[in-house]
Amino acid sequence: MQALAADPTEARVEALLKRMTLDEKLGQMSQSTELRAPLSEKNKAEIRQGRWGSFLNAAGPAERVEAQRIALKESRLGIPLIFGRDVIHGYRTVFPIPLGQAASWDPELIRQAARVAGREAARSGVHWTFAPMLDITRDPRWGRVAETLGEDPYLTSILGAAMVRGFQGGSIGAADSIAACAKHYVGYGAAEGGRDYNTTWIPEIELRNVFLRPFDAARQAGVATFMSAFNSLNGVPTSGNEFTLRQVLRKEWKYDGMVVSDWESIREMIPHGYAADPADAAFKGLRGGVDMEMVSTTYFDHLKALIASGQVPMSWIDDGVRNILRLKLRMGLFDRQPAGLAIAADPEGAAIARRIAAQSAVLLKNDSNTLPLTTKTIAVIGPLADSPVDQMGAWVMDADPKEVRTPLAALRDRLGEGRVHWARGLKSSRDQSRDGFAEALGAARASDVVLLFLGEEQILSGEAHSRAFLNLPGAQEALVEEVAKAGKPIVAVIMAGRPLTFPSVAAKSSAVLYAWHPGTMGGPALADVLFGDAVPSGRLPITFPRTVGQVPIHYAHMSTGRPPSEKELGIPMGTPLDPRGFTSKYLDVDFTPEFPFGFGLSYTTFEYANLRLSSPSMSLAGSLTISADISNTGSRDAVETVQLYTRQLAASITRPVRELRAFRRVHLRAGEKQTVEFTLKASDLAFYNSKMQLAAEPGDFHVWVAPDSALGLQAAFKLTR
C-alpha cells in the first residue's frame, strides 16, 4: 500500500474511500438502466444520494449532462457517474459487424473504426462501451458469433487489442476517448449446442491456451474494464468464478481495472443452481471478484446485512469500490463537466466505414473472372439489396437507418436507374412466398448479369439468436433456382451475421462475395468491389462448414490416432476385425470445411515461392527468420494477406495441426514480387503444459508460409535447448 500511496490517483481513491458511507459504497457498485427522459425526481434524488455508480443506456445527451451535474455538484462527495452504452461496431456511423471487420485482417483500419466510434460516443456523453468481444467460438450456430473476431486466439488478440487502442485513444482521460471493456470473461463462445447462455466445459489447459489469450492481450493493451460472462464455466458461473476473476485476472495478471457483471448475471446464478437466493448470489458474486453489478440489485439489497452478520468482510467491498473510483479518476470524470453534447456522425466516419466494408468482403468464388463487372445492365434481386436496418446488423443502438447507403442505391448512383433492373423477389430473408419470383425472373432476363443479395436479416443474428440450421432461410434457394432459368451469370452477394451453408447457391452462381452485415456504407463499398474500384482482400476469420453436422469446426484442431486422408469419404472397406479405412471422418460428407480459415480470393493471382529459413534450428534463447517470395502474377494491383503457421510434431501434450503465428498484408503491384519475412521466437511457440506452466518445448516443427490455413509452402526446423 505504501508504493500505491505515492500515486496521486491512489491517494485520492483512499481519501474518498475513508469518507464514504456503506450505502455510498454499495451505490458505486451498482449500475442501473432507470434513467429516462425527462429525468424524474426519483432519478435526481437517487443521484444526490449516491445510489448509483453508473447508468447503462441512459436517456440522451441532455439528460446525461444534467445527471452528471447533479452527481458532481449536489451529491455529498461529488463522485461522478459513468455512462455505459453498447458501442459494438459503431455509434452513429455503423461499421461492419466485428466478425466482418475481422475478415479485413487489418488491425490499423480496425483501430481507426473504433476511434471514430469512440469519438462519436464521447461527444454524446457516453463514457464506456462494452466492447471488444473477445470470445473464441468454433460454432456458427451461436448467434453472438457476429460480435466475435473469429475462431483464432492469435488473430482475435491482435484485432481486439487494436479495438481497445481505438476506443481508448492516446489517453483514457481525453474527452474524446471512452473506456473499453473486454468481454465476455470467459469461455462464453463454447456454449453447448451453440445455444446462447448455455453451459461451457473447458479444461484449464485449453482455457489457458485458447480462450484466455485474447483477454490477456487486451489487458496488455490497457483495457480499462472487464465483463464477466453469462455462462457457467466448468460448473461455476463466470460472474462468481474465483479462479478466473481472482486467481488469473488479479493475482496472475496483476490487473487493477474494474470488473462489471453482464446484465443481471449476478442474480442469474440462482437459476444456474449455484446460488440459493439473491443474498447468496450477492455473496458469491462479490467473493468471485465482480466489482459492479449490472441491472440486478443483489449487492445493494443484501451486502449490508451480510457485512453485519460477518459473512462478508468490509475489505471485499473496499477493494471493489477502489477499482471503480480508480477508473473514474483515470478517465478524468471528476474534473470535467460535459456540455453541448449531441449525437452526430464523425467527419471521418463514412470514408473509414466504406474502406473497412470493402476490405471485409471475402470473395469465395469467381469462375471465368465474372467479377469485376464490365456489363451494361444488371439485375439487382433479393431481400437484402435495399434493407438499411438489416445491412447494419445486430447491436446497433444509435444509428439512423436514413443514413445507410444500400447496394441498390449505390448501384443506381453508379449506373443510372435505367441500367439497373430491381426486383425484391422476397419480402425478407425469411419469406416463404414465391409471389415475387416472376418479377425477379423478368429482371434477370432483361439484364446482362444478375446480382442476388441473399443472407440473413438483422433479427437472425446476435444475442439470443442462435440457429440450429445454417442454410439460407426462407425461400432464398428457390429464388436462386428461379432466377437461374434466365441463363445469365449470377453473382451471389451474401450478407449475414455468421458463416452459412449454401452449396446449391454457390453451384448455380458464377461468383460468390461474402459481405457479412457491412454497415452504413456497405452499399458503396460493395459497388466498389463489384466493379473493381476495390480489389477483394478479405480473408475468412472463421471456418465455413459444408453442413451444420460438422459443427463445431475449426482449423487448429488436434490430430487423432487415425487421421483421414484427403478427400476420404464413404463407408470403410474394413471391419472391426480388419479396420481398413477406419479413420476420423464422416460417411456422408467430406470432413474438410467448405472454405478454410484464412481463405479469400482476389481479382489477381499470387504465387508463393522460395521458402527459406535462416537456420534449420533455433535455441530457446534465439530466433528464426522465415521468408518467402510472393509474386502478383495477375494484371491488377492488390493486397495479399500472407500467413505464417507452425505445428509442433510431438510435445508433452498434443498440439494443433496448425497454429497461426503471424500475418502480413502486402500490397503488390501487377507483376511485382516481394520477399515477405517473419521472425519467430521461442516465446511465440510457448503453450501451457499439463502442469499449467507456460513454456516452449524443444522438438521438431513444421512451418508454412501460406495464403490460408489449408495451403502454403512448408519447411521444417528444430527448437533446441
Work out the number of other CB atoms within 10 angstroms of the CB of residue 256. Answer: 13
Please, what's the b/e burial string for 672-698 (b: 16 or more CB within 10 A of its CB; e: otherwise)?
eebebebebebebbebbbeeeeeebbb
With a CB cutoff of 8 Å and minimum separation 6, the contacts of 321 are: 17, 20, 25, 28, 29, 291
- Residue 174 CA to residue 169 CA, distance in Å, equals 8
Catalytic residue among 86, 216, 262, 280: 262
Phi/psi region, residue 707 (left: phi>0; alpha: psi -120 to 50; beta: rest), is alpha
Of 319, 318, 259, nearest to 293 by C-alpha is 259
Q: Are 212 and 256 in contact (CB under 8 A)?
A: no
Work out the number of other CB atoms within 10 angstroms of the CB of residue 322. Answer: 20
Which three cell numbers mark 89? 461496431
Of 103, 208, 199, nearest to 514 by C-alpha is 103
Q: Is the peptide bond before 372 cis (omega within 30 degrees of 0)?
A: yes
Hey, what amino acid is at 77? L
- Residue 423: phi and psi, rounded to 5, are -150, 125
Hey, what amino acid is at 86? D
With a CB cutoff of 8 Å and minimum separation 6, the contacts of 438 are: none
Catalytic residue check, 262: yes
Which of helix, strand or coil describes residue 185?
strand
Q: What is the 3-state secondary structure (H, E, C) of 500-561?
A: CECHHHHHHCCEEEECCCCCCCHHHHHHHHHCCCCCCCCCCCCCECCCHHHCCCCCCCECCC
Radius of gyration over every alpha carbon of the chain, rounded to an integer in angstroms: 27
With a CB cutoff of 8 Å and minimum separation 6, the contacts of 626 are: 611, 612, 613, 614, 644, 677, 678, 679, 680, 703, 705, 715
Q: Are 191 and 199 in contact (CB under 8 A)?
A: yes
Q: Which residues are catalytic?
A: 262
